[in-house]
Structure 1
Amino acid sequence: MRLGLALRAFWRAMFDPRVAERVALALDGTDPVTPNSVTFSPVIAEQKPAEPVKPKSLQSDAVTLLAALQRDARLVDLIHEDLDQYGDDQVGAAARPCLKQCRQTLDRLLVIKPLVEAAEGQSIPVDAAASSARVRWVGESAGATEGKVVHAGWQASQVQLPAWSGSEGDAMVIAPTQVQAS
Structure 2
Amino acid sequence: MRLGIALRAFWKALFDRAAAERVAIALDAPIDARIEQPTPAAASEPTAKTAPSPKPAPAQNPAITLLATLQRDARLIDLIYEDLDQYQDAQVGAAARPCLKQCRQSLDRILKIDKLVASNESEAITVPADASVARYRWIGESPASDGGTAKLVHPGWQATEMQLPQWSGQAADAEIIAPAQVSAS
Query: Same-fold call, TM > 0.5?
Result: yes
Other structure's SS at 1:152 match: coil
| Distance in 1 separating the partners of 2:158 and 2:96 | 24
1:57, distance to aligned residue in structure 2 (A): 5.6
State the AA in 2 paired with 1:170.
Answer: D
Alignment partner, residue 168 of structure 1: 171
State the AA in 1 paired with 2:175.
Answer: M
CA contact (8 A) 1:57 1:163 kept: no
Alignment TM-score, normalising by the size of structure 1: 0.68
1:146 to 136, 139, 149: 149
Same amino acid, percent of matched pairs:
63
1:111, distance to aligned residue in structure 2 (A): 1.1
1:119, distance to aligned residue in structure 2 (A): 0.4
RMSD: 1.2
State the AA in 2 paired with 1:76.
Answer: I
Q: Which runs of 4+ in 1 moved over 3 A?
A: none
| Distance in 1 separating the partners of 2:167 and 2:77 | 20
Listed one character per residue, the Cα deviations across residues 70-117 of structure 1 (whole Å, up to 9, x for unaligned) are: 000000000010000000000000000000100111111111110011
Alignment TM-score, normalising by the size of structure 2: 0.67
Kindly report which structure 2 residues correspond to 1:30-179, keeping only aligned pairs within 5 A, or say none: 58-143=59-144, 144-179=147-182
1:142, distance to aligned residue in structure 2 (A): 2.1
Other structure's SS at 2:114 match: strand
**Which runs of no fewer than 5 residues in structure 1 stay unpaired?**
1-54
Greater gyration radius: 1
CA contact (8 A) 2:58 2:170 kept: no
Which structure's residues are more often helix, by fraction? Answer: 2
Structure 1 residues 57 and 167 mapped into 2: Cα distance closer, same or farther (>3 Å)? closer
Other structure's SS at 2:103 match: helix
| Distance in 1 separating the partners of 2:87 and 2:150 | 41
**Which runs of no fewer than 5 residues in structure 2 stay unpaired?**
1-55
1:122, distance to aligned residue in structure 2 (A): 0.3
CA contact (8 A) 1:73 1:101 kept: yes
